[in-house]
Amino acid sequence: MDMYQKRKIRAEKKNNNQEEKLTKVVLNWYPGHMAKAKREIKEKLDLIDIVYEVIDARLPISSRIPLDDLIENKKRIVVVTKYDLCDKLKTDKYLDEIKKEYPVLVYDLKNTNQKDINNLINLTNDSLKEINETRRKKGLKPRIFRALVVGAPNVGKSTLINRIRGKNVLETGNRAGVTKGLSWIRIGNTIELMDTPGILYPKITSPEVGLNLASFASINEDILNKEEIATYILEILFKNYPDILNRRYNLKNRSEFSKIEILEEIAKNTNSYQKGLEFDYDRVYTIIINDLKEGRIKNITFD
């Protein structure tokens, strides 16, 4: 082995180690407000009749955070948001699995109508009707039902509540950690919903789950390495949705994935140059990440 080869291997090793470390950052992102939110949810659990588990249609596995410890055996409805952005064929297969355990409702929260909302309200009232039947038998007045809305960051929990309420009463935004505390929102005189901050596990066990959550802005972008996330997005699109990728960035068809080649082509086609003729890769990473986040790249499911 000559010196050049040795140096190349050493450089590759260093690169791999760096990537490993970066993924670890993603896997360990667990800000204080999440731990606090979980504690507060636990404290309020006695008040809760039913849980809306909110998941992102593009991540029907990765955006499902393990809830059993948190909500114990409360009744549950799985609410799937961003259905307008997913690969419906793929997502529906996963949803069929979830349906074996819980009722599932899908939403495009950018375009909801009253009928969609009523489906959730009626399902809630129906699932809980025994509560008021028992009360009636005891001569008590019916009481309001309380639902906890819970899920990973940025899946659309607050947007869902705004739609049900028919008014923008909660702050929303396309980034992780918009909601910081718990709040109750009253819907008519039958249901009260509790909005909660997005939560994750203290340690995400699979790098793939971490990268998937990061790709859809469920992990605060300040801590992310843009190159790592953008490369991951390109790899998944190349593998599963080559036509969508090629169309978005006017790429030529290729049979093998080449990060450098693809980044160069995107840089050219998006006019991403630094001073002179150097490509501005940082700009390319941002373009890719934002295109996915803002839904300009759609009909995709990453799980």
Ligand X SMILES: Nc1nc2c(ncn2[C@@H]2O[C@H](COP(=O)(O)OP(=O)(O)OP(=O)(O)O)[C@@H](O)[C@H]2O)c(=O)[nH]1
Residues that bind ligand X (CB under 6 A): 81-82, 84-85, 107-110, 153-159, 172-174, 176-179, 197-198, 295
Residue (23 or 179) nearer to Mg ion, CB: 179
**Rounded to the nearest whole angstrom, what is the least distance from the CB of residue 179 to Mg ion in the complex?**
3
Residue (158 or 215) nearer to Mg ion, CB: 158
Largest CA distance in the chain: 90
Residue (84 or 227) nearer to ligand X, CB: 84
CA–CA separation, 165 vs 192, rounded Å?
10
Residue (90 or 157) nearer to Mg ion, CB: 157
Residue (75 or 175) nearer to ligand X, CB: 175
Residue (112 or 270) nearer to ligand X, CB: 112
Structure tokens at 208: 């793939």
153 binds, among ligand X, Mg ion, none (CB under 5 to 8 A by kind): ligand X
Residue (197 or 210) nearer to Mg ion, CB: 197
CB atoms within 10 A of CB 37: 21
**Rounded to the nearest whole angstrom, what is the least distance from the CB of residue 261 to ligand X in the complex?**
31
**Rounded to the nearest whole angstrom, what is the least distance from the CB of residue 80 to ligand X in the complex?**
9
154 binds, among Mg ion, ligand X, none (CB under 5 to 8 A by kind): ligand X
**Contact positions toward Mg ion, by CB under 5 A?**
157-158, 178-179
**Three-class SS of the chain:** CCHHHHHHHHHHHHHHHHHHHHHHHHHCCCCHHHHHHHHHHHHHHHHCCEEEEEEECCCCCCCCCCCHHHHCCCEEEEEEECHHHCCHHHHHHHHHHHHCCCCEEECCCCCCCHHHHHHHHHHHHHHCHHHHHHHHHCCCCCCCEEEEEEECCCCCHHHHHHHHHCCCCCCCCCCCCCCCCCEEEEECCCEEEEECCCCCCCCCCCHHHHHHHHHCCCCCHHHCCHHHHHHHHHHHHHHHCHHHHHHHHCCCCCCCCCHHHHHHHHHHHCCCECCCCCECHHHHHHHHHHHHHCCCCCCCCCC
**Going by C-beta distance under 8 Å and a sequence separation of 6 or more, which residues neighbour residue 267?**
273, 279, 280, 281, 283, 284
**Rounded to the nearest whole angstrom, what is the least distance from the CB of residue 161 to ligand X in the complex?**
8
Residue (157 or 248) nearer to Mg ion, CB: 157
**Rounded to the nearest whole angstrom, what is the least distance from the CB of residue 83 to ligand X in the complex?**
6
173 binds, among Mg ion, ligand X, none (CB under 5 to 8 A by kind): ligand X
**Rounded to the nearest whole angstrom, what is the least distance from the CB of residue 137 to ligand X in the complex?**
38
**Rounded to the nearest whole angstrom, what is the least distance from the CB of residue 43 to Mg ion in the complex?**
19
Structure tokens at 297: 């790249």
**Rounded to the nearest whole angstrom, what is the least distance from the CB of residue 65 to ligand X in the complex?**
11
